[in-house]
């Protein structure tokens, strides 16, 4: 299973869309607080449609709490502040794809401590960012494609076994 990690998301509609995407892709969603909204709020619920009951969701109070429980996992950090394109990664089963908040992204200090694990979605010059839900979809499905090519998932997208 792949994991999508949202660190301090701010926009409930983005998180709802990502929740729906995670259900469709069969991956776990981690929400790392503090959140900028309530996941029980109508905006997040509406964007996630009726998928919330099927979502494999874990919430964490802080990055430190998340990291202490998942420090042994392989993490990929997505940022517009780095140069390595996401398609140069070798995503494996169990990897965690980490995205920062909509307004600021991931902290530069975090990126600096893990340069080998930082990826970006290339954009044309002058473009500041891509919507968070769109970014998650791009990188998540590249990971699924890589796992499928490696024979780690079946054609339906689920894990083998």
CATH assignment of the domain containing 53: 3.40.1280.10
Over residues 55-114, the pLDDT tens digits come to 999 999 999 999 999 989 999 999 999 999 999 999 999 999 999 999 999 999 999 999
Mean pLDDT value of segment 2-10: 97
Query: Which residue, chain included where needed, has tokens 């619920």?
Result: 45
Whole-prediction pTM: 0.92
> Would 83 be classed as within a structural domain?
yes
> Would 161 be classed as within a structural domain?
no
Choose the weakest-confidence range: 20-29, 42-51, 60-69, 99-108.
42-51
Q: Are 21 and 136 in contact (CB under 8 A)?
A: yes
Separation CA 32–CA 159 (nearest Å)? 25
Q: Are 8 and 40 in contact (CB under 8 A)?
A: no
> Would 141 be classed as within a structural domain?
yes
- If one counts the domains in the chain, the total is 1
> Would 158 be classed as within a structural domain?
no
Separation CA 117–CA 33 (nearest Å)? 22
> Would 75 be classed as within a structural domain?
yes
> Would 78 be classed as within a structural domain?
yes
> Would 55 be classed as within a structural domain?
yes
- Decide if pLDDT at 41 tops 80: no
> Would 155 be classed as within a structural domain?
no
What is the extent of the structural domain holding 118? Answer: 3-149
């Amino acid at each position: 299973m792949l994991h999508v990690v949202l660190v301090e998301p701010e926009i409930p509609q983005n998180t709802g869309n990502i929740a729906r995407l995670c259900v469709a892709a069969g991956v776990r969603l981690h929400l790392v607080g503090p959140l900028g909204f309530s996941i029980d709020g109508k905006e997040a619920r509406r964007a996630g449609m009726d998928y919330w009951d099927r979502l494999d969701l874990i919430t964490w109070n802080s990055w430190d709490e998340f990291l202490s429980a998942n420090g042994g996992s392989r993490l990929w950090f997505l940022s517009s502040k780095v140069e390595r394109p996401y398609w140069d990664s070798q995503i494996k089963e169990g990897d965690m794809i980490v995205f920062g908040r909509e307004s600021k992204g991931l902290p530069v200090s975090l990126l600096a401590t893990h340069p080998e694990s930082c990826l970006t979605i290339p954009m044309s010059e002058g473009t500041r960012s891509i919507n968070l839900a769109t970014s998650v979809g791009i990188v998540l499905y590249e990971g699924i494609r890589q796992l499928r090519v490696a024979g780690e998932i079946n054609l339906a997208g689920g894990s083998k076994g």
